[in-house]
Amino acid sequence: MEDAAGTGVSEPAHSATRSGRRRDWRRVTSTVLLSIGGVLTVLCALLVAGCWADDLAIERPEPGRATAEVVSVSFSRTIVRYNTPEGAVHIPNEGVLYPEGLQEGQLVRVEYDTAQPDKKVRVEGRDFRLALLPVGTTVAGLWAVLVPAVWWLRRKPVAARQS
């Protein structure tokens, strides 16, 4: 094989191993990226499934309904306080499901699991479908970045195409 100047000098043997290592690195990296993408996609699907399961727990057999006062709003949760027909006051520690747009002091209708009124409470009229848009957008954005990256890693390097 001639060098670029056409002198007839062949390439050293170690350059073939170097390009082989480069291909191995690219293949391993693309496999890792695809694995990460798969795990994140499964986690997003489990998030939606968890929301759906919480909704089922609230709806079966019949959800309790009450008017709740929004006690506090923070990044991680929104705390509400409501009374059940028996007169008990409930303040779920985990907060209310689907709290978007709620403000402190606001009164809001809630539905709750009658078996566990301190565990599962959601804003009335909201359900797991609210999670579909953000989760779907996250998954689409993830794969919009990963697919071109994996394609770029798996394509043949320019030097390999020319020989």
In a domain, 62, yes or no: yes
For residue 5, tell me if it sits in a domain: no
Residue 10, pLDDT > 60, answer no
In a domain, 6, yes or no: no
List all residues 6 or more positions away from 154 whose beta carbon is below 8 Å from its beta carbon. Answer: 26, 27, 30
Cα distance between residue 60 and residue 77, in whole Å: 24
Read off the tokens for 49.
């499934």
2 lies in a domain? no
pLDDT in tens, 110-153: 999 998 899 999 999 999 999 999 999 999 999 999 999 999 98
Its domain, for residue 131, covers: 14-162
User: Taking all residues of the chain, what is their mean pLDDT, rounded to a whole number?
Assistant: 87
- What's the confidence (pLDDT) of residue 97? 93
Measured between alpha carbons, how far is 31 from 161 in angstroms, rounded to an integer? Answer: 22
Q: How many domains does the chain have?
A: 1
19 falls within a domain: yes
What residues form DSSP beta bridges with 112?
64, 121
Mean pLDDT computed over 61-78: 93
Q: Identify whether 155 is part of a domain.
A: yes
The answer to whether residue 1 sits within a structural domain is: no
Q: Does a structural domain hold residue 3?
A: no
Sign of CA dihedral 134, 137, 138, 139: positive
Residue 17 has pLDDT above 70, yes or no: no
Instruction: For residue 60, name the pLDDT band (cuts at 50, 70, 90).
Output: confident
